[in-house]
Structure 1
Amino acid sequence: MLDRRTFLYGTGLTAGAVMLGACSSGEGEQSGQSKASKPAASSGKGSERKPLSPPKKLTEAPMLADQVKAGKLPELARRIPSSPYVVPHKWLEPAKYGGNLNILVPETNDLQILEYMYGHSLLRFLNDALDIGPGLVESFESNEDASEWTLHFRKGLHWSDGQPWTTADIMFWWEDMVLNTDHTEVPPDEAKSGKGTVMKMTAPDEYTLVLTYDAPAPLTPMRLAGYVNRGNGSTWMEPKHYLKQYHPRYNKSVSKNWASADGEFEKKRNQVQTPGCPVMTGWVLKSYKEGRQAVWERNPYYWVVDREGRQLPNVDQITFRANKDVEVGKLQIQQGKVDYVHGPFTGLTLGDVSGFKQTEKRSGMQLFFWDSGTGTGSMFFFNYDYEDPKMRALVRKPKFRQALSYAFKREDARKQIYFNTGELSTGTMSPKAKEYQSGAEGQKVYKQWRDSYVKYDPDKAKALLDELGLKDTNGDGKREMPDGSPLAIRLDFPADTGTEHQQKNNMLKRDWEAVGLTVKLNPVAPEGYGDQWANGKLASQCAWEVSSGPDHLAQVAWMVPVEPSRWAPLEGQMYNLRGTPAEKEQLDVDPFKRTPPRMAPEKGGPIDRLWKLYDQAKLEPDEIRRRQIAFQMVKIHIEEGPFFMGTIANTPAVMLAHKDLRNVPRKENLSQGGFVNPWQHPTPAVYDPETYFWQNPDKHIT
């Protein structure tokens, strides 16, 4: 029996594509539903770029007002800052309090849950990362060369248990965890200068933090806004009043293994699994059932309000319902057991669109799309540092990689996997990146990279392969190495890779074999995949995608090998260890036998030049000059790449929301149509789910 995806691809592709196009505007209307009744957000687009003034009048949820009357809570003005953060989104409409929101997630302990909450972040991305706004930090400034940053926090912040939040909570994280060699926490990138040395942090008072670097650190605000602190990314704070009882500096009776993963300290600080752990987010964990559900209730001390002065969140409770089985999850959505679904978290693809549209009336779930922001779609890249010297020498030749790009018929992937959405791409950083939004020059550079080797030209591919001496020398119809030895391209991918990547891999095999190459699909056990890659034992990776932003330098690993998980792992590891004793150690040992395996780039080669440009950019306070440096890096990718090979850029991300749920923005409400895929731009947290509300909250209690 054909599954829905196979059916759509085999016989209903055209109908599916038409249906996708019909609902891609973000309207999400049911058939026969009047426009007056649809729950789309208001017509406002984007967010205010300047902070909004505090509202003159404050209001709170009825359940909290009742607790104030009963003497169980302080009045609202004593629970939130004198200058609370005012959500600046233009699409928001006046809201109502109440109700429960059911959200589908793969795991109850998954850190994806915190991608719905931006409350711990010092700064926040706005307008799909084109702007940076305040967060816990109300204002900030730097000296002239950006080597010292002063952060001014809001006065009157509280943890969810009512205890005051102060800079002591950041200093606890810094001094008692990051700088404490007994703990595994390490200094994050934003805590290092452009030279890679760790900053000095001081707290002159409870509301001021000073970050002092030994060199310019102009990317600091961008990095402080990225990810979700205490979730995906460095924590930057911990509730000192709560955790110090589990820390040996403050409690001498604490055991020696206090910092181990299963120690009391780590368990107690886990706000995703431990009810009672104080948080700064809009909701706080109320109950937890492993593998089944996690219930989060409103935080009475949440420090964020809307324009009308309503303390957020609007929804009383969120119930995260876990289901690892994608097909079962789809069924739950179609049966109306879920209220809100962030598709990328749950394995939904464009192949599922038709099924959700057909059950929309029964489920009450309306389908819409945000732009993914991907620069590649499903991608492919060789291991530039592969352990086999003959193959390593070949994959380092630009003409070989360019030939494979010309041989790939991307239009088939666009039709069969992405339903004629997105744009053909050689593979770039995210098209949403700030550099590409800087005017005509930015768009020109993006298109040059996107189109550099995107054309389907098998004859040109064959000519390049011939030029490299990769010819059929034994008459078996397959190309051999120049010395006549066998040549086989191995497509390595984790065995649990999703259908999207597997379909693309099959297309690569078909197209590359059509130009005379031998191609082998090689599923690898997910356990240990990363270690094998970092050690140079895997030949390629073909189950990832690139969507890094909000600019080329904030998350640079795809542009420049600076760590061991991307296209040049051993050279990335060498960069990662620069400035440490390990950089000068084991130089007389085979790079693949060093601990960890690492190698220096070829002098004057592309990686060596990319390193130098990145080092220069990290020290450049002027944004325009940094942009020009980024474009020089792109030029290397164009002329000597592709180092990673894309398929289709900026494909739609599937989203679903109940028709009664309001303030969920549609594509037309967002400055760049959405920017979903990069972890660094935490979605949907950037759109403040705390502002979502039920038009009829009494109908959504469970």
Structure 2
Amino acid sequence: MLSLANFHSASRKQISGKASFVSGGTAFLFGCTLLAGSAWAEVPYFADQVKSGALPPMEQRLPEHPLKMDFAAEGKEVGKYGGDMVTIMGRSKDIRMAVVYGYTHLVGYDQNLDLKPDILESLDVNEDGSVFTLHLRKGHKWSDGAPFTAEDFRFYWEDVVNNDDLFPVGPPRFLLVDGEPPKFEVLDEYTVRYSWSQPNPFFLPELASTRPPFIYRPAHYLKQFHEKYQDPQKLEAMVQERGLRNWAVLETDMDRPYKLENINLPTLQPWIIRTQEPSDRFIFERNPYFHRVDPDGNQLPYIDRMIFNISNAKLVPAKVGAGEVDIQSRILTLKDYTFLKQSEKDKAYHVRLWDVGYGNYATLYPNLTVSDPVWRKLLRDLRFRKALSLAINRTELNRVLFFGLATARNNTVLPKSPLFKKEYASENIGFDLKAANALLDEMGLDKRNDDGIRLMPDGRPLEIIVETAGENPEQDDILELIGDSWKKAGIKLYVKALQREVMRTRAYSGDTVMSIFTGIDNGLAVPSTVPSEFVPVNQDSLQWPKWGQYYDTGGEAGEKPDMPAAEELMKLYEKWRTGGPGQQKEAWEHILDINAENLFSIGLVGNVPQPVVVADGLKNVPEKGIHSWEPGGFFGIYHPDTFWWDR
């Protein structure tokens, strides 16, 4: 099988499922499909609707070749229909996790992190990765029963991302290669092609990302809100009725496949949202036209309804311990483990500990693009960043907060990554106050006030405000312990709790000096993984948001990287982008070398196990898994549509 690590040698490797090849180096990527002749069993949940004629029978709702899940490879068993699956979210915004858990992509990762077709029946890629031909499943339908066809891709490309009113900055960056958009072609009703003059190594990883880009849209539904297709008077009436500015705002509001703000928007996900905001209980009902089946040909999902209850995050562990959920990982942390274990037997659930895919459980991000010139000069001095790191007692953090189960490490790839080197994780993380103080003195920060706090070059006390997203109480505990040790180095630490959106906005604008957040999302990177978390190409990277903004906007906003190490990272990123497998691996290694040497982010502890609570009787949930946003979508990669109740 070909994982992304081998993407550029696709013509010589099997990508997934079954593969065959033709001359010219084209790779064919196929998923497992169920051919005609299988015996179908109607979903009991839909029996009355089928009997009344409100829904067609199952064999007419499925594509001609549905995706047959490989239960043997995943260690699963064929299940039974029925029941609800309840979990808790901390905010109504988090209903978007239904998309994450649904894990329905054009192509997605399997549990071995190999790419497999999902929504697509197959995918052809030429040898240099510049031409991608997407084959849809004939007979696949949206959740409202309308056909899912090439027209949905054409509508997205021509009428959404290339419409100046809807996308004034043009198509998303992953669809551009050196600013060049693809040549988009509709080959037939079920086949589309994207072609570039150069390789596009971003295309498939983006299609498989936890937050999918949705390069297709339900054209039959959204055309009613588009100026190109709707009568102007009717369209204006809809705009006025909702009190909106113009038709583009209306169309955008109606077209939010990730945020799920429009409950009438057709979907391809396993469950359909049925509850309109605001609410403290969101119900997702099974999709009658979902394209996956189990090995016996039974349409998935097994579970009829997924329910998200909304609760204050501080109350979630108690609610979980009281048996109010069927499956839960979100908001739970290792410190909840002992409490949750105590109620296992009485409340009929089990607590499992999964590995994590984050590079670090908690990481400090000095903002190298902070607006304050004095802070900018300090934070960009490697001696200062090293001093901060050496003045942190990570052994104490691990012992006090994580029962000694965590690992002191930098914010870098995990040992399971083929790119891992031991020194990446261990450099500059030893607790050495003497060395930290010597580095600060060497910088000229040797003057102190009456409280023993060092003075900055402009006379201000060296007081660092660390901003948090206010979502993880453990981060406050971590910062309290760091504050104690930093004080011994003459540094005062203050904590400022914000909402995530506010914290990020302050970082983008240069107001933030330092923040704390989780480490890199994808600690399991392979050479063909986009190295964007280690290079200043994304404004969400809290260590260099303005540099990332500069790249994101093509130089229209933010600041051009002006540190030699950052400039070198950009050159290596270009080398990775244009190279084959060997060159990509070499670029990755140099990128990780530079990050380790320069300590752009200050890792604290990693490998903190994630508690996962599973109700007794809920089947096909792995005993051991990797809890990771990217890749994997937390539970998503284990396909909750295959979970079922044995009761």
The residue number in structure 2 matching 1:38 is none
- 2:137 is equivalent to residue 154 of structure 1: yes
Q: 1:289 offset after TM fit, Å? A: 5.8
8 A contact 1:351–1:417 mirrored in 2: yes
- 2:171 is equivalent to residue 187 of structure 1: yes
8 A contact 1:376–1:649 mirrored in 2: yes
- 2:125 is equivalent to residue 167 of structure 1: no
Amino acid corresponding to residue 68 of structure 1 in structure 2: V
Q: 1:505 offset after TM fit, Å? A: 1.2
Residues in 2 aligned to 1:187 and 1:465: alpha-carbon distance in whole angstroms: 47
Amino acid corresponding to residue 623 of structure 1 in structure 2: P
- 2:590 is equivalent to residue 632 of structure 1: yes
Amino acid corresponding to residue 561 of structure 1 in structure 2: P
Amino acid corresponding to residue 277 of structure 1 in structure 2: L
Selected match of 1:573 from 549, 561, 573: 549
The residue number in structure 2 matching 1:505 is 479
1:478-497 CA distance string (max 9 Å, x none): 4344x583451413314735
The residue number in structure 2 matching 1:448 is 423
The residue number in structure 1 matching 2:62 is 80
Amino acid corresponding to residue 215 of structure 2 in structure 1: W
Residues in 2 aligned to 1:599 and 1:273: alpha-carbon distance in whole angstroms: 34
Q: 1:390 offset after TM fit, Å? A: 2.5
8 A contact 1:171–1:203 mirrored in 2: yes
The residue number in structure 2 matching 1:242 is 221
Residues in 2 aligned to 1:202 and 1:518: alpha-carbon distance in whole angstroms: 59
The residue number in structure 2 matching 1:663 is 620
Query: Could you state the TM-score of these two structures normalised by the residue count of structure 1?
Result: 0.80
- Secondary structure at the residue paired with 1:534? helix
Amino acid corresponding to residue 619 of structure 1 in structure 2: T
Q: 1:548 offset after TM fit, Å? A: 2.7
8 A contact 2:316–2:332 mirrored in 1: no
The residue number in structure 2 matching 1:352 is 336
- 2:268 is equivalent to residue 293 of structure 1: no
- Secondary structure at the residue paired with 2:626? coil
Amino acid corresponding to residue 60 of structure 1 in structure 2: E
Residues in 2 aligned to 1:513 and 1:49: alpha-carbon distance in whole angstroms: 57
The residue number in structure 2 matching 1:252 is 231
The residue number in structure 1 matching 2:99 is 114
Q: Cα–Cα, structure 1 residues 453 and 58, in superposed 2: closer, same or farther, change >3 Å?
A: farther
Q: Cα–Cα, structure 1 residues 659 and 528, in superposed 2: closer, same or farther, change >3 Å?
A: closer
8 A contact 2:292–2:299 mirrored in 1: yes
8 A contact 2:227–2:247 mirrored in 1: no
Determine which structure has greater relative contact order: mean sequence separation of CA pairs < 8 Å that are 6+ residues apart, divided by chain length.
1
Question: Which runs of 5 or more residues in structure 1 are unaligned?
Answer: 1-46, 583-595, 668-672, 697-702
Q: Cα–Cα, structure 1 residues 601 and 151, in superposed 2: closer, same or farther, change >3 Å?
A: same
Q: 1:207 offset after TM fit, Å? A: 1.4
The aligned runs of 1:463-502 (5 Å cut-off) are 463-472=438-447, 477-481=452-456, 485-494=459-468, 496-502=470-476
Q: 1:689 offset after TM fit, Å? A: 0.4
The residue number in structure 1 matching 2:202 is 219
Q: Cα–Cα, structure 1 residues 213 and 92, in superposed 2: closer, same or farther, change >3 Å?
A: same
The aligned runs of 1:201-350 (5 Å cut-off) are 201-229=184-212, 234-253=213-232, 254-255=235-236, 257-259=245-247, 261=249, 263=250, 266-267=253-254, 272-288=260-276, 290-323=278-311, 325-341=312-328, 343-344=329-330, 347-350=331-334
The residue number in structure 2 matching 1:587 is none
8 A contact 2:39–2:297 mirrored in 1: yes
8 A contact 2:184–2:194 mirrored in 1: yes
Q: 1:460 offset after TM fit, Å? A: 2.1
Q: How many residues align?
A: 603
8 A contact 1:115–1:228 mirrored in 2: yes
The residue number in structure 2 matching 1:562 is 537
Q: 1:196 offset after TM fit, Å? A: 4.2
Selected match of 1:608 from 545, 567, 571: 567
8 A contact 1:243–1:268 mirrored in 2: yes
- Secondary structure at the residue paired with 1:104? strand
The residue number in structure 2 matching 1:428 is 412
Residues in 2 aligned to 1:75 and 1:473: alpha-carbon distance in whole angstroms: 78
Q: Cα–Cα, structure 1 residues 181 and 550, in superposed 2: closer, same or farther, change >3 Å?
A: farther
Q: 1:431 offset after TM fit, Å? A: 4.8
1:551-609 CA distance string (max 9 Å, x none): 3764544301113232112222222233x6x3xxxxxxxxxxxxx4x222237x01100
After superposing the two structures, state which structure 1 stretch, 327-336 or 175-184, moved more: 327-336
Amino acid corresponding to residue 42 of structure 2 in structure 1: E
8 A contact 1:372–1:677 mirrored in 2: no
The residue number in structure 2 matching 1:458 is 433
Residues in 1 aligned to 2:509 and 2:164: alpha-carbon distance in whole angstroms: 26
Question: Which runs of 5 or more residues in structure 2 are unaligned?
Answer: 1-14, 19-30, 240-244
Selected match of 1:61 from 23, 32, 43: 43
Residues in 2 aligned to 1:528 and 1:337: alpha-carbon distance in whole angstroms: 32
- 2:362 is equivalent to residue 389 of structure 1: no
Amino acid corresponding to residue 280 of structure 2 in structure 1: R
Q: Cα–Cα, structure 1 residues 497 and 308, in superposed 2: closer, same or farther, change >3 Å?
A: closer
Selected match of 1:197 from 180, 188, 194: 180
Amino acid corresponding to residue 637 of structure 1 in structure 2: N
The residue number in structure 2 matching 1:686 is 637
8 A contact 1:550–1:681 mirrored in 2: no
Q: Cα–Cα, structure 1 residues 409 and 494, in superposed 2: closer, same or farther, change >3 Å?
A: closer
Q: Cα–Cα, structure 1 residues 88 and 188, in superposed 2: closer, same or farther, change >3 Å?
A: farther
Amino acid corresponding to residue 102 of structure 1 in structure 2: V
Residues in 2 aligned to 1:196 and 1:635: alpha-carbon distance in whole angstroms: 29
1:322-359 CA distance string (max 9 Å, x none): 22x12333333233232121x23xx2111111221112
Amino acid corresponding to residue 304 of structure 2 in structure 1: D
Residues in 2 aligned to 1:541 and 1:322: alpha-carbon distance in whole angstroms: 27
Residues in 2 aligned to 1:601 and 1:172: alpha-carbon distance in whole angstroms: 37
Residues in 2 aligned to 1:204 and 1:49: alpha-carbon distance in whole angstroms: 24
Q: 1:526 offset after TM fit, Å? A: 5.8
- Secondary structure at the residue paired with 1:646? strand
Q: Cα–Cα, structure 1 residues 78 and 556, in superposed 2: closer, same or farther, change >3 Å?
A: same
Q: Cα–Cα, structure 1 residues 542 and 275, in superposed 2: closer, same or farther, change >3 Å?
A: closer
- 2:487 is equivalent to residue 533 of structure 1: no
Q: Cα–Cα, structure 1 residues 49 and 541, in superposed 2: closer, same or farther, change >3 Å?
A: farther
Q: What percentage of residue pairs aligned between the two structures are identical? A: 28
Q: Cα–Cα, structure 1 residues 416 and 677, in superposed 2: closer, same or farther, change >3 Å?
A: farther
8 A contact 1:286–1:295 mirrored in 2: yes
Q: 1:661 offset after TM fit, Å? A: 0.7
Q: Cα–Cα, structure 1 residues 365 and 509, in superposed 2: closer, same or farther, change >3 Å?
A: same
Q: 1:423 offset after TM fit, Å? A: 1.7
8 A contact 1:293–1:321 mirrored in 2: yes
Q: Cα–Cα, structure 1 residues 549 and 201, in superposed 2: closer, same or farther, change >3 Å?
A: farther
8 A contact 1:243–1:265 mirrored in 2: no
- Secondary structure at the residue paired with 2:274? strand
Amino acid corresponding to residue 464 of structure 2 in structure 1: R
8 A contact 1:96–1:693 mirrored in 2: yes
Q: Cα–Cα, structure 1 residues 310 and 536, in superposed 2: closer, same or farther, change >3 Å?
A: same
Q: 1:65 offset after TM fit, Å? A: 4.6
- Secondary structure at the residue paired with 2:362? coil
The aligned runs of 1:374-413 (5 Å cut-off) are 374-413=358-397
Q: 1:182 offset after TM fit, Å? A: 0.9
Q: 1:244 offset after TM fit, Å? A: 0.9
Amino acid corresponding to residue 515 of structure 1 in structure 2: A
Residues in 1 aligned to 2:575 and 2:342: alpha-carbon distance in whole angstroms: 54
The residue number in structure 1 matching 2:628 is 676
Amino acid corresponding to residue 570 of structure 2 in structure 1: W
Q: 1:265 offset after TM fit, Å? A: 5.6
Residues in 2 aligned to 1:302 and 1:677: alpha-carbon distance in whole angstroms: 24
8 A contact 1:376–1:645 mirrored in 2: no
Residues in 2 aligned to 1:353 and 1:475: alpha-carbon distance in whole angstroms: 43
Residues in 2 aligned to 1:631 and 1:97: alpha-carbon distance in whole angstroms: 48
After superposing the two structures, state which structure 1 stretch, 84-93 or 181-190, moved more: 181-190
